[in-house]
Amino acid sequence: MKLLRINTKTRKFSFEEPGPYAGLGGRALTSRMVLKEVPAKCDALGPENKLVIAAGTLTGTACANSGRISVGAKSPLTGGIKESNSGGQFAQKLAKLGIVGIVLEDKPADNAPLMTIVITKDGVTIKDAGDIAGKYTYAAAESLLSAYGDKAALMLIGPAGETTRQAASIQFTDPEGRPARAAGRGGMGAVMGSKRVKAIVLDDAGCGMVKAADPEAFKAASRKWVDILKGHPVTAEGLPAFGTAILVNVINEAGAFPTKNFRGGRFEFVNNISGETIAETIEKRGGKTRHGCHTGCVIQCSQEYRDAAGKYLTSGFEYETIWAMGANSLISDLDHVATLDRTCDELGVDTIEMGCTIAVAMDGGLIPWGDGEAAIALLKKIGTGDAVGDYIGNGAGATGKALGVTRVPVVKNQSLPAYDPRAVKGVGVTYCTTPQGADHTAGYAVCQNILKVGGDVDPKGKDGQIEISKALQIATAAVDAAGLCLFVAFAVLDNADGVPTIADMVAALIGAPFTPDDVVNLGIGVLKDELEFNKAAGFTAADDQLPQFFTDEELPPHNVKWDFTAEEMQAAKVE
Amino acid sequence: MKLLRINTKTRKFSFEEPGPYAGLGGRALTSRMVLKEVPAKCDALGPENKLVIAAGTLTGTACANSGRISVGAKSPLTGGIKESNSGGQFAQKLAKLGIVGIVLEDKPADNAPLMTIVITKDGVTIKDAGDIAGKYTYAAAESLLSAYGDKAALMLIGPAGETTRQAASIQFTDPEGRPARAAGRGGMGAVMGSKRVKAIVLDDAGCGMVKAADPEAFKAASRKWVDILKGHPVTAEGLPAFGTAILVNVINEAGAFPTKNFRGGRFEFVNNISGETIAETIEKRGGKTRHGCHTGCVIQCSQEYRDAAGKYLTSGFEYETIWAMGANSLISDLDHVATLDRTCDELGVDTIEMGCTIAVAMDGGLIPWGDGEAAIALLKKIGTGDAVGDYIGNGAGATGKALGVTRVPVVKNQSLPAYDPRAVKGVGVTYCTTPQGADHTAGYAVCQNILKVGGDVDPKGKDGQIEISKALQIATAAVDAAGLCLFVAFAVLDNADGVPTIADMVAALIGAPFTPDDVVNLGIGVLKDELEFNKAAGFTAADDQLPQFFTDEELPPHNVKWDFTAEEMQAAKVE
């Protein structure tokens, strides 16, 4: 496995041995490189920042659900370290090309032409992006796939990234070549845009799977791994049937479904946007209720959502997006919600950040509550040079400042996801303490708090929340380093063979001992790297807290408040 | 003395005895009322906030330089308590009308017509503002003075306040009826605009001076007071000759004149904008180098600046404005700087906040560095409904967020004034710890650090800075409560008779003992009220610090850094 460094200013590149980074993959690689090579106080959009794109340790092998791609850099949104990961076809092809990570370094002039980077087994070609510059991601992807072949995997930005908006995502193509998968959070698309890279194209023709050092042991462990995933009701039944949208009714029922910019925990029109309604709508319109975002996925939580005319509208239509574009903005028309999802993918912008931003804009009177068409029009201003689009594209914090709205649900300037921390306190601890800014995926305590997977902790109490958040943050960091989809956690948390089987796969892959303790230590190491970076960037305990209104206001229907202090939060961080 | 409460929703008013507020004036009255009557966590632009407009204790008497007006509320800019004070004719007329404070309460609908409030000895009239709505302040003032007589004193807002921009000022008329005096800081104009009040007109016809309980003792003390002011070189010579602009060369020489958004301490083109150049230019064009902002001022630091054609351009052209619009944005054309000052007065927006905002906008590439005409055009977008104007009008913090600029020199979201805290550390302590957000007037340690008035403390060292800032914050709060111009401090700090003479005037006025200790205790009480409000609003020690770049970057030419921690800062706050 090699590292590919590309200087975006000189357009020179080199392949090198991983050296000090040997053995690291995914988030472990991106966070270590960012810590070691990016000055913590640099301008996130300046030449000193680096965009690190890494395949997981298990990626490219036959291991099920190991196709996540990690993207890391200093975040222009939070000012801290960032790892954002995505599904899609990119990671597996990258690993098959023998590349563990691509590092985009330096930057051209701000108005330099955008470029396309094409990587095949024969080498690297860097060329001007030409007429895909400025294009929405679906059209750009279509153009690239027609030039480089349907089997290429793409990583690309839209107008939001090109104009370095702080909420810009990086989009990745799925097996059908649709750029519907996103490394959404923290503005990684802005970093890519600052380096004037519109797209990276991977063609792995002629490359085989990544080979294990001990093929027989690997085969045995990876078979057991599939059995574990297929043996748990969430990964075997719930997610395949309804995707993550199954959570709409579950979280609403729990009174933790943030409504009208986090004013309530239940949404009046929840039935319009529930997973059950979505599945029914998809079936009626001839879409797909099951779909894998990458080859080798046995969970298949994605889907193909069609419009009323039966035409493809969007995919990867996640619970968090449905919440963000629906309940949080009081938008109750499912097609509007789906169109907002598609619009975010087209622009290359984070759906969670945009959902909170739209609600803040509604709070500021910029557009009416619940007006889906106005919300779509608002998002389309991003990247056009329009000043409203400029601040909307910088997220909820910027929009609050521009409009004078102080009710802005962010931690470290990143918008809160779809679980009200007052009614799911474990995930609130994660929002506060993960180095990533408010992020549910960094320590998904919804498991123990609501789903009762891996334990049972009262979601509204304080007891046990810090402990589960901390343990989950460690486990998640390891999962992200391995390149595994986070949803494997549902099965792993409830099956004592889960972590040992992951360790067995890694051991067989690298041909050296790797124990369950090593998995835990891997996660701890990642978090330590990230916390060290953030400390150097100037973060303190004061940054580890929710906005004041969560402490001041009761959340209906359970009338619960946030009741942790920033000091208490410190115990959730590894030392 | 009465309190006049006006409900801006019902347009009903009442005069009442001060009751629990008896004996309080100026900042002591505004801060006590805001603490007692405004919920700390309310929406600063909502019905629960109150705008308190108070004359000082000594205002309306023959005491020289006692004509300051205090305006207090919860600040929409900082989220904390605010007192912003101004010169002009308003305070004296208010006191002569027998009113110690006007309290604007509740609020009409957001789109309700703007109103004008007229107060005479016969009562209060509230009417629709009619065609002055939307007007710039000079035209609005001219219209009001032609309707209510040249001798009326005005308090009014411009388009920035009408559209509740967070940097909106309240403008006050000078003896010539020009709205060139401003309660600039903290967005008090937005609070007035939220209550849909365009202007308050005071006509004191038929009212006499405020009478002292012991007229002879008062006359003796106030004569001594004039002698003290006329006996100090700063108040008797420096300020009268050059106004506050005398500081341009002094602070530049000290290497503390923030240049290019606080990147350096000296400005290449300082001679273009110095006090000496301004005085010369004014004389050549037939303006006035000396001018008092209110009747009874013996310092006369104001001036009348004319354009190249000899036509009045601006007045109250302060050092901080010259710095903000000049060096900090690299604008070196004096007429551009003067036009920016006038433009801020016309729009009703704080010059210091706008100076930092323009520099942040330049840092973000919105307009070129040093381009005065572009800066003027940028400001004129405020209040027009233009989205750029919307965020520019919300200040440097909002502009930084909209443009993705992280170099934003604010404390508590309020822009730093014209003294780099790395090279004048005493004033840096004040920026961090005053409840008001970054504000030089809250504890002007430039005295001991640079001017060597009231002591001599090395501006670049840490020793003694906390002590002088704390003492000055206490003294300033008392000065602001008395309604005295802050510039009396130069004389008071160097004259042992200063504080006793102020105490003597108050004692003679109220006919009861008032000692120098009472002056100090008055100041401490004001600060305690303000800190209590801010604590209830959610402020913590983490809010008492400068942006990180002041700690990280050396300021040329002395290559000094900020080296206080937020914890050290706590000692500068009264307990």
In chain B, residues with a C-beta closer than 8 Å to the C-beta of A552 are 41
Q: Chain B contact for A190, CB < 8 A?
A: yes
**pLDDT above 90 (res B175):** yes
Q: What is the 8-class DSSP label of residue B344?
A: H
d(CA B368, CA B346): 23
Q: Which percentage of chain B shows pLDDT scores above 70?
A: 100
- Amino acid at position A236, single letter: A
Q: Chain B contact for A452, CB < 8 A?
A: no
DSSP letters spanning B216-239: HHHHHHHHHHHHHHHTSHIIIIIH
- B249 CA: distance to closest CA in chain A (Å): 33
d(CA A500, CA A478): 13
Record: contact A43-B404, CB cut-off 8 A = no
Q: How many residues can be counted in chain B?
A: 575
Per the structure block, which two tokens stand in for A383? 């990247």
* Residue-wise pLDDT tens digits, A65-92: 999 999 999 999 999 999 999 999 999 9
Q: By CA distance, what is B42's nearest residue in A? A: A406
Strand (E) or helix (H) holding B391? helix B387-392
d(CA A134, CA A258): 34
Q: Scan for tokens 């009326």, then name that residue.
A: B152
Query: What's the whole-model pTM score?
Result: 0.90
**Cα separations in angstroms, B418 against B260, B306, B337:** 12, 24, 15
Mutant choice from B390, B405, B539 vs A, greatest count of A C-beta within 10 A? B390
Closest CA to B345 of B321, B369, B370: B321
In chain A, residues with a C-beta closer than 8 Å to the C-beta of B402 are 387, 390-391, 394, 398, 401-402
**pLDDT above 90 (res A575):** no
* Residue-wise pLDDT tens digits, A130-154: 999 999 999 999 999 999 999 999 9
Q: State the CB neighbour count (10 A cutoff) for residue B561.
A: 13
Q: Chain A contact for B48, CB < 8 A?
A: no
Q: State the CB neighbour count (10 A cutoff) for residue A520.
A: 17
Q: Which percentage of chain A shows pLDDT scores above 70?
A: 100
Q: By CA distance, what is A553's nearest residue in B? A: B41
Q: State the CB neighbour count (10 A cutoff) for residue A496.
A: 9
Reduced to 3 states (helix: H, G, I; strand: E, B; else coil), residue A44 is coil
CA dihedral B321, B323, B325, B326 (to 10 degrees): 140
Record: contact A391-B397, CB cut-off 8 A = no
Record: contact B402-A386, CB cut-off 8 A = no
Residue A73 contacts residue A52 (beta carbons within 8 Å)? yes
Residue B363's pLDDT is what?
A: 96
Q: Which residues pair with B383 in a beta bridge?
A: none
Strand (E) or helix (H) holding A49? none
Q: Chain B contact for A552, CB < 8 A?
A: yes
**pLDDT above 90 (res A269):** yes
Q: Which percentage of chain A shows pLDDT scores above 90?
A: 98
**Cα separations in angstroms, A441 against A58, A434, A474, B236, B264:** 19, 10, 12, 67, 43
DSSP letters spanning A107-143: ---TTSPPEEEEEETTEEEEEE-GGGTT--HHHHHHH
Q: Chain A contact for B502, CB < 8 A?
A: no
Query: Which of A391, A404, A548 lies nearest to residue B166, judging by beta carbons?
Result: A404
Q: Chain B contact for A79, CB < 8 A?
A: yes
**Cα separations in angstroms, A242 against A291, A304, A326, A340, A356:** 11, 12, 17, 20, 24
In chain A, residues with a C-beta closer than 8 Å to the C-beta of B189 are none
Q: State the CB neighbour count (10 A cutoff) for residue B409.
A: 26
Q: How many residues can be counted in chain A?
A: 575
3-state helix/strand/coil string of A390-454: HHHCCHHHHHHHHHCCCCCCEECCEECCCCCCCCCHHHHHHHHHCCCCCCHHHCCCHHHHHHCCC
- B406 CA: distance to closest CA in chain A (Å): 8
- B404 CA: distance to closest CA in chain A (Å): 7
Q: Scan for tokens 């009626």, then name that residue.
A: A284
In chain B, residues with a C-beta closer than 8 Å to the C-beta of A401 are 391, 394, 397-398, 401-402
Residues 6+ away with beta carbon under 8 Å from B96: B60, B204, B207, B208, B209, B210
**pLDDT above 90 (res A458):** yes
**Which stretches of A29-129 are assigned E, i.e. beta strand?**
51-55, 69-74, 81-86, 99-105, 115-120, 123-128
Query: Which of B190, B394, B542 lies nearest to residue A401, judging by beta carbons?
Result: B394
Record: contact A394-B404, CB cut-off 8 A = yes
**pLDDT above 90 (res B354):** yes
Record: contact B404-A538, CB cut-off 8 A = no
Torsion sign, CA atoms A85, A87, A88, A89: positive
Residue A379 contacts residue A440 (beta carbons within 8 Å)? no
Query: What Rg do the C-alpha atoms of chain A give, in angstroms?
Result: 21
Torsion sign, CA atoms A218, A224, A226, A229: negative
* Residue-wise pLDDT tens digits, A177-217: 999 999 999 999 999 999 999 999 999 999 999 999 999 99
d(CA B516, CA A166): 55
Residue B513 contacts residue B26 (beta carbons within 8 Å)? no
Query: What Rg do the C-alpha atoms of chain B give, in angstroms?
Result: 21
- B539 CA: distance to closest CA in chain A (Å): 10
Residue B575's pLDDT is what?
A: 84
d(CA A199, CA A538): 32
Residue A207's pLDDT is what?
A: 96
Reduced to 3 states (helix: H, G, I; strand: E, B; else coil), residue A532 is helix
Q: What is the 8-class DSSP label of residue A268?
A: T
Domains, chain B, in order of start with CATH, read: 2-202 (3.60.9.10)
* Residue-wise pLDDT tens digits, B298-349: 999 999 999 999 999 999 999 999 999 999 999 999 999 999 999 999 999 9
In chain A, residues with a C-beta closer than 8 Å to the C-beta of B391 are 387, 391, 401-402
Q: What is the 8-class DSSP label of residue B367?
A: S
d(CA A234, CA A223): 19
CA atoms within 13 A on the CB side of A202: 27
Query: Which of A45, A110, A398 lies nearest to residue B402, judging by beta carbons?
Result: A398
Record: contact B165-A391, CB cut-off 8 A = no
CA dihedral A153, A155, A159, A161 (to 10 degrees): 180
3-state helix/strand/coil string of B7-73: ECCCCEEEEECCHHHCCCCHHHHHHHHHHHHCCCCCCCCCCCCCEEEEECCCCCCCCCCCCCEEEEE
Reduced to 3 states (helix: H, G, I; strand: E, B; else coil), residue A64 is coil
Residue A110's pLDDT is what?
A: 87
* Residue-wise pLDDT tens digits, B121-131: 999 999 999 99
Reduced to 3 states (helix: H, G, I; strand: E, B; else coil), residue A484 is coil
Strand (E) or helix (H) holding B567? helix B566-569
Record: contact B391-A404, CB cut-off 8 A = no
Average pLDDT over residues A422-447: 98
Record: contact B548-A41, CB cut-off 8 A = yes
Closest CA to B320 of B192, B494, B172, B446: B446
* Residue-wise pLDDT tens digits, A221-259: 999 999 999 999 999 998 999 999 999 999 999 999 999
Mutant choice from A382, A391, A548 vs B, greatest count of B C-beta within 10 A? A391
- Per residue in A402-425, is it b (16+ CB within 10 Å) or e — as a string? bbbbbbbbbbbbbbbbbbbbbbbb
A-B contacts (CB, under 8 Å): 70
- B542 CA: distance to closest CA in chain A (Å): 6
Question: pLDDT grade, residue B566 (50/70/90)?
Answer: confident
Average pLDDT over residues B53-58: 97
Mutant choice from B111, B163, B401, B549 vs A, greatest count of A C-beta within 10 A? B401
Cα A569 to its chain centre, rounded Å, is 24
Average pLDDT over residues B523-544: 96
Question: pLDDT grade, residue A566 (50/70/90)?
Answer: confident
Record: contact B403-A387, CB cut-off 8 A = no
Question: pLDDT grade, residue A379 (50/70/90)?
Answer: very high
Give the burial class of B285: count Cβ atoms within 10 A of its Cβ; 0-12 exposed, 13-18 middle, 19 or more buried. middle
Asked if the bond preceding A215 is cis, omega within 30° of 0, the reply is no
* Residue-wise pLDDT tens digits, B149-160: 999 999 999 999
Residues 6+ away with beta carbon under 8 Å from B36: B20
**pLDDT above 90 (res B110):** no
Q: Which residues pair with B156 in a beta bridge?
A: B171, B199
Record: contact A391-B394, CB cut-off 8 A = no
Residue B553 contacts residue A39 (beta carbons within 8 Å)? no
Question: pLDDT grade, residue A109 (50/70/90)?
Answer: very high
Mutant choice from A349, A390, A543, A552 vs B, greatest count of B C-beta within 10 A? A390
Q: What is the 8-class DSSP label of residue B490?
A: H
Residue A3 contacts residue A37 (beta carbons within 8 Å)? no
